[in-house]
Structures are given as structure tokens and as C-alpha cells.
């Protein structure tokens, strides 16, 4: 039997699960938690045939494409590291000199920072990039020591030989797009 201390999960996980429960209906393609440990939460995109997965760690959400039994490429990564200041929390990855007007956004708590930097951008990316891209470009190979994947809205021009220079190159149909297309029509 686990004691109470062992049952406690990181605060970011509790914040994400709470946000997900409130935001689940906003996802064009449904997601579910497939695995949860003290270090991460794995998410599956329902109807993606396990081609895509997402992972929430203590400071990021990344989405990967899994091909031929391997993590082929990370499609996107959202990162945030909360830093406590006298006014509240800021993201230590947001450099003040790069922010306009030379000030980082200050949040009352870490949950608001995570929502703004991780959770909402992840939802936006799923709905506005992943779910609307009908094609996936897969290239490279494990033997070649390099793999890559891209989401495509349009098929590449067959005359463009530069994209075909790697030994293994394929265009796959995005299974999430097909489900999304049906959802949008009905």
C-alpha cells in the first residue's frame, strides 16, 4: 500500500489534469492520458494509431511522431520554467531583453504561467497545426543516423528533388486529419 507521500504527484501534473478536464471539449481531436509517473505524463491522441504522442514533464510539453517503432522526431516543444520574484512568477526562459517592453509577464502563481506558456499553446497547436495537416512527411532513417518528420498542409512539388535526397522518404496520410474532417462535416 502506498502512503500519502508516495501518492503525491508534481504540481504541474495536477495543474495539467485540472486544465485538461476543463478544456477537453476544446480539442478538435481527443486526447487521453496513457501513462503517468512521478516524472511525466504521456498523452495519446485518440484515433492517431499511436503515430503521435505527447509528453508533459516538469518543464515542457513535447509532441513526437513515432514511426517504425521509434521516436522519429519531435514536432513541437513548449517550455516554461517558473521563477519566483518579489512580484510573483515569471518564466526564466523569457529573457527580459527580448520581451516587449523589456518586461516579462508576471503571474500570480505557477498554474497561470503553465497555462499561458504550455497548456494553451499546446491546445492551439493541436487544433491549428496537427489537426488541419492532412499529410506527414517522413524522412531519414535510423541507419542513416538522422530522422525527421514534418506536418504538411500541401503535398510538396515532385520537381523539388532536395527533399528527396535522403534515402528513406515517404508521405503519410495524417490519421487525425481524417477524423477531424469527419467531425467538421457532421
- For 158-172, write each residue's pLDDT tens digit: 655 555 454 567 888
Which residue carries 500519502 as its cell? 4
Q: Quick one: cell of 177?
A: 486529419
* Bigger pLDDT: 18 vs 154: 18
Look at residue 125 and tell me whether its pLDDT is greater than 60: yes
64 and 75 in contact (C-beta within 8 Å)?
yes
CA distance 83 to 52: 31
Helix or strand or coil: residue 184?
A: helix
Summarize the confidence of residues 42-60 as an average pLDDT: 93
Q: Write down the pLDDT at residue 146.
A: 85
CA distance 96 to 99: 5
Q: Where are the domains of the chain?
A: 9-185
More confident residue, 155 or 133: 133
pLDDT at residue 160 in the model: 53
Is the CA virtual torsion 33, 125, 77, 151 positive or negative? Answer: positive
pLDDT digits (tens, 9 = 90+) for 75-100: 999 999 999 999 999 999 988 776 66
Average pLDDT over residues 29-51: 93
**Residue among 137, 129, 139 nearest 176 (CA):** 129
Average pLDDT over residues 1-19: 76
Q: Is 88 left (phi over 0), alpha (psi -120 to 50) or beta?
A: left
Handedness of CA 35, 49, 152, 20 (dihedral sign): negative
pLDDT exceeds 90 at position 128: yes
Radius of gyration of the chain (CA): 19
Least Cα distance to 80 among 100, 109, 52 occurs for 109
Q: Bigger pLDDT: 68 or 106?
A: 106
Q: Is 69 exposed, middle or buried (0-12, 13-18, 19+ CB in 10 A)?
A: exposed
Mean pLDDT across the stretch 55-81? 95
DSSP letters along 10-34, please?
-HHHHHHHHHHHHHGGG-SS-EEEE
Amino acid at each position: 500500500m502506498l502512503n500519502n507521500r508516495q501518492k503525491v504527484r508534481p504540481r504541474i501534473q495536477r495543474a495539467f489534469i485540472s486544465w485538461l478536464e476543463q478544456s477537453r471539449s476544446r480539442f478538435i481531436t481527443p486526447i487521453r492520458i496513457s501513462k503517468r509517473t512521478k516524472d511525466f505524463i504521456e498523452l495519446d491522441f485518440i484515433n492517431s494509431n499511436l503515430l503521435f504522442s505527447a509528453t508533459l514533464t516538469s518543464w515542457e510539453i513535447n509532441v513526437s511522431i513515432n514511426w517504425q517503432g521509434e521516436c522519429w522526431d519531435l514536432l513541437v516543444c513548449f517550455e516554461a520554467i517558473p521563477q519566483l520574484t518579489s512580484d510573483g512568477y515569471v518564466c526564466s526562459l523569457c529573457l527580459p531583453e527580448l520581451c516587449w517592453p523589456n518586461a516579462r509577464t508576471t503571474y500570480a502563481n505557477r498554474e497561470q504561467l503553465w497555462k499561458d506558456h504550455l497548456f494553451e499553446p499546446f491546445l492551439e497547436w493541436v487544433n491549428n497545426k496537427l489537426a488541419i495537416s492532412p499529410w506527414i512527411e517522413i524522412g531519414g532513417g535510423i541507419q542513416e543516423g538522422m530522422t525527421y518528420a514534418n506536418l504538411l498542409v500541401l503535398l510538396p512539388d515532385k520537381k523539388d528533388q532536395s527533399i528527396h535526397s535522403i534515402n528513406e522518404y515517404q508521405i503519410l496520410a495524417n490519421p487525425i486529419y481524417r477524423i477531424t474532417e469527419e467531425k467538421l462535416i457532421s
